[in-house]
Structure 1
Amino acid sequence: MTALPPALTDDHKAYLGRLGFDTPPPATLESLVALHRAHLDAVPYENLDIMLGRPASTEPADVVARLGRGGRAGYCFHQNGALGSLLVALGYDVDRRHGHVWTDPGHRFDTSLNHLVLLVRRLPTDDHLSGTWWPDVGLGEGFRDPVPLTAGQVRDPSLDFEVMEVTDEGWSFRGGVDTVRGCVATHVGLDGDSTRDLSGFDEWREVLADGQRLPLDDVPLDDLRALWDRTAAAHRAWVAAGRL
């Protein structure tokens, strides 16, 4: 007998509501794409709680509950853990995989774990008969739609990416988005790349809240200002050192 997927919890339903779904969608490729886009639109990739010195739980059930209450998720282990939990509860065939994010090509085959990867199986199309898809809402600078797990160029709605050398042991992905690291806001896109330094607390907070859609209502203003002061001091030291 095939085991039934776990039932949707109230927290799952609240999470779905935050993503704009009044009722649970069917476990189809179309729904997967819609869920993926909705999560990216509603839940920013960030590490604010870590920077504030109060790291949040990475347990999927805890993250789902936070998202259902309108809170923040966090980085990849939070984001993809929550989405994976929701997809399983909706009836999708989901695998969790070991992932490694690299920037130096020499580190491509490093086996250290620094990313949670999801695979969704059994959703074949005429162009992708294997039916295995790679959704990822935890890359930060990743793709808009789930990617068919096959080697080759991928045309995303906003950027071009490439999936490289798909084997039983794994694959690699190269690709670009708007980020805030410290006091630096960066845009990477088809219209070109740009970088600017954020000059003060009000501008920094506005970019986080409006540009990055980061919920800040639960963060005391004094805590946020203290984080800005530390961040700005580190930025000044970095600039004085030649931005190395």
Structure 2
Amino acid sequence: MITKDFDGYLARLGITDPGAPSAEALSALQRAHLERVPYENVDIQLGRPPGIEPELSVRRFAAGHGGYCFHLNGGFAALLEALGYDVTRHVGGVHHDPEGRGANGNHLALTVRVDGEAWFVDTGLGDGPYEPLPLRQGTYRQGPFTYRMEASVTEPGGWTFHNDPGSSFPVMEFAARPVTMADFAAEHVRLSTAPDSPFLSTFAALRRDAKGLDLLRGRVLTRIDAAGRTERPLDTAGEWFAVLTDVFDRNLDALDTADRTALWDRVTRAHDAWLAAQAAPQA
């Protein structure tokens, strides 16, 4: 049964009556979350990574913030449980090599049982599925994107999720065993503070909708949908921050002038380094 602790989160999702647990209601909740709560690393880039306690994530969502997988799936799992869903948390591993396998711990994956069927549910991949996928082998089309699920050969009882070929990563695997949020504490510290972490080196914001994906990586805004892929550089701080609020629905009221300057300078330095690398002669 829902409690008042989740009212702000549900209001952020635009849902007044989530209804009883069902596959249809589950899909509606995932769609709403992906449309309104962005995958983003604003606070990590500013050197103040938020904790991954679900209660904190839920409050942040209600305040107009987002996060990465430990925040997004952690908070979403807490909401689903409060609504009466049977949720299991799993250790996952996102791989940038198409042949990469194994649940290396850099991702929190969820499965949900409802209406007698198990579903792969994930609001924390950034450019993953818009709706839950049946937890059975098969290929699934959602809008312009195609996904595939298969039983893992490296994680007994686990699953391999193959992302759309045009996505930011090709493969995520997760193990069968159930875990708790405490199992991700050490990896969260590494991902949110280590100098070589991609969450520190690159700014990213992603938002899914029924027709496609919005992606802000550094200072390049990308839209991917059935019409293809369009990119637009953002040349001013004003334009960049406006995109964060207008396209990604990220509330920036908590950022003062010093925060905005520091964030823009950091993103610009990384963008300039990326441009220089693109222009350098290839060996």
> How far apart, CA to CA, are the structure 2 residues paired with 1:115 and 1:233?
28
Counterpart in the other structure of 2:139: 153
Aligned to 1:241, what secondary structure does the other structure show?
Answer: helix
Query: With structure 1 as the length reference, what TM-score do the two structures score?
Result: 0.86
| Residue in structure 2 matched with residue 105 of structure 1 by the alignment | 98
2:33 is matched with: 39
Determine if contact 1:13/1:24 at 8 Å carries over to the other structure.
no
1:54 & 1:213 partners in 2: Cα distance? 20
Q: Does 2:68 correspond to 1:75? A: yes
Q: Matched residues in 1 for 2:277 and 2:10: separation?
A: 46
CA RMSD of aligned residues (A): 1.9
Residue-pair matches, total: 230
2: CA distance, partners of 1:144 / 1:169: 21
- Greater relative contact order (Cα 8 A, min sep 6): structure 1 or 2? 2
Q: Does 1:240 align with 2:276?
A: yes
* CA–CA distance in structure 2, aligned partners of residues 208 and 235 of structure 1: 17
Match of 1:86 among 57, 79, 82: 79
Structure 1 stretches of 4+ with a deviation exceeding 4 A read: none
Query: Which string of whole-angstrom CA distances, capped at 9 and with x for unpartnered residues, describes residues 87-126 of structure 1?
Result: 11111111001111112123x21442111101001424xx
Deviation at 1:24, TM superposition (A): 4.4
The 8 Å contact of residues 95 and 118 in structure 1, kept in 2 or not, is answered as yes
Query: 1:71 & 1:204 partners in 2: Cα distance?
Result: 17
**Closer, same or farther in 2 for the Cα pair 1:243/1:100, shift >3 Å?**
farther
Contact 2:147/2:161, CA 8 A, preserved across alignment:
no
Q: Which segments of 5 or more consecutive residues in structure 1 lack a partner in the other structure?
A: 1-6, 125-130
CA distance in 2, matches of 1:12, 1:160: 32
1:14 paired residue among 3, 8, 11: 8
Q: What is the CA distance between 1:233 and its match in structure 2?
A: 1.9
Q: Which residue of 1 aligns with 2:157?
A: 168
Unaligned runs of 5+ in 2: 168-212
Q: Identity of paired residues, percent?
A: 42
Q: Determine if contact 1:144/1:158 at 8 Å carries over to the other structure.
A: no
User: Residues of 2 paired with 1:213 and 1:14: CA distance?
Assistant: 15
Number of the residue aligned with 2:206: none
SS in 1 for 2:95: coil
| 8 Å CA contact retained: 2:36, 2:248 | no
